[in-house]
Amino acid sequence: MHGGEVPSAFDGYPNAWFTAGTIRGKSFTTSLYNYPNEQQPTTLWYHDHALGITRLNVYAGLAGFYLLRDPNNHLENPELAILPTGKYEIPLVIQDRTFRLNGSLFFDKVGTNPTSIPTGHRNFLVIPLW
């Protein structure tokens, strides 16, 4: 989770992966994660961090975000709100993608440094907006 104030065990290390079976990455400690959400209001963005396939997972859509709201933002009275609320609040994520002519996703099989990180590619962005 990006921006989350969480205990280090829940920080999403690249080797903390696990399968539905019994296979675990070397940094695995638990499959139950706790996000206290006790920090300042913000937008939190999360995605899988599995070593070597983060780009593929995010590109395939395995990412999301959620909002920590300010209890003083007068959700019950939008005229008094400091931040957009109700119909004026539009959660939006912009994700960079390349498509083939047939509309399917193009995922380059060779990255920028195929000898060390074969799927690494620096040209795609994910920007959560609020």
3-class secondary structure, 102: coil
Q: What is d(CA 78, CA 10) in angstroms, rounded to the nearest whole number?
A: 35
Q: What is d(CA 47, CA 49) in angstroms, rounded to the nearest whole number?
A: 6
What pLDDT score was predicted for residue 114? 53
pLDDT tens sequence across 55-97: 778 888 888 888 888 877 766 776 777 777 778 888 888 887 8
Q: What is d(CA 66, CA 87) in angstroms, rounded to the nearest whole number?
A: 17
Domain coordinates of the chain in residue numbers? 39-130
pTM: predicted TM-score of the whole model, two decimal places: 0.64
Tokens of 30: 């638990």
pLDDT band at 130; cut points 50, 70, 90? very low
Q: Is 51:25 a contact under the CB 8 Å cutoff?
A: yes
